Amino acid sequence: MGLAIMCSGGDAPGMNPAIKKFVDYVYKSHQIPYFIYDGLEGLIDGNIKQAQHHDVAGILHNGGAIIGSSRSKRFYDYKYRKIAFENLNKYGITGLVVLGGDGSYNALERLNSEFGIDCIGIPSTIDNDIYGTEYCLGVDTALNVIRSAVDNIRDTASTFKRAFVVEVMGRECGYLAAVTALSSGAEICVIPEMCFNKDIAGYTLKKEVKAGRRYILAIAAEGCNRTQEIKEWLEKDIGMETRITVLGHIQRGGNPTVKDRMMAFEFVVRGIDLLRSKQKVHHAIGYQKGEFIAMDIHEVNDGKYTIPSEITRDLHFLD
């Protein structure tokens, strides 16, 4: 039996440790591992190769994904999905592991429902916005990259009596922004899930500035599209010179942390074990309350992720 792995959508630290564990564990299980290069586009183009141990030697510490990734408009057309299925058949691949987010899971659901391909989704996105799992690969590394940047920004902000608005990734999910605001002690957090109360924030911050506050740190989730607005408000209403820092794709790179490496190993092992079972498989591996679980991929795609209340309850000036 041949098993294949591919990445889809945005990259996340932890993908390379997952890829290495996939190769090692599949060979240990006396099966044949395959790489699908460049995601769904590579699957359509037949960019598939049997993986060897030397392909994954020395990759644990690298960010990104050695097999590449992509987003594919062609995959929405049935004829290209059929080509993708035929390419899997050509190599005798009976099970597919995909590292990705919600778009990738939708693609897996189509492959399974239309062609009966056994598939496993492993949550891999720094946005941490997949329903049914408390943790996605790449989140811990991204948060540590952001923490380092924000700590440095605070140093210069306090020196020059400035405010900084730091924009972080997350699409429509404010998880990265919320956790960053809590762990950095930011005065302001703006996320899509909750309303930022300017009146209360303004009243409090103006009193603190008058009493000697030297800087203000604001964390804004990109999905709010309010970074410029918050900057102008801080300057005009609060009266503090303000700078914007957009961290951008720096958050998706870097050496995976130990946590992301260990989580990658377990996600992959659980996924491969499911593929090797006798049952038909169309699952996503999740992590809840300290345990790895298997969820029906239809359930994951139909659900909507929400930030845990224990995170949002301690944020300032949010209703």
| Catalytic annotation present for 45 | no
Sheet holding 118-123: strands in order across? 48-50, 32-36, 2-7, 93-100, 118-123, 282-288, 291-296
Q: Is 71 exposed, middle or buried (0-12, 13-18, 19+ CB in 10 A)?
A: middle
* Of 8, 123, 139, nearest in space to 75 by CA: 8
User: Which residue shows structure tokens 């309303």?
Assistant: 195
Annotated catalytic residue: which of 38, 127, 129, 140?
127
- 188-190/163-168 β-pairing: unpaired
Helical (H) or strand (E) element with 14:
none
Give the strands of the sheet with 188-190, arranged side by side. Answer: 188-190, 216-221, 163-168, 242-246
Place of tokens 């929405």: 76
Paired tokens of 116: 């009966």
Catalytic residues: 127
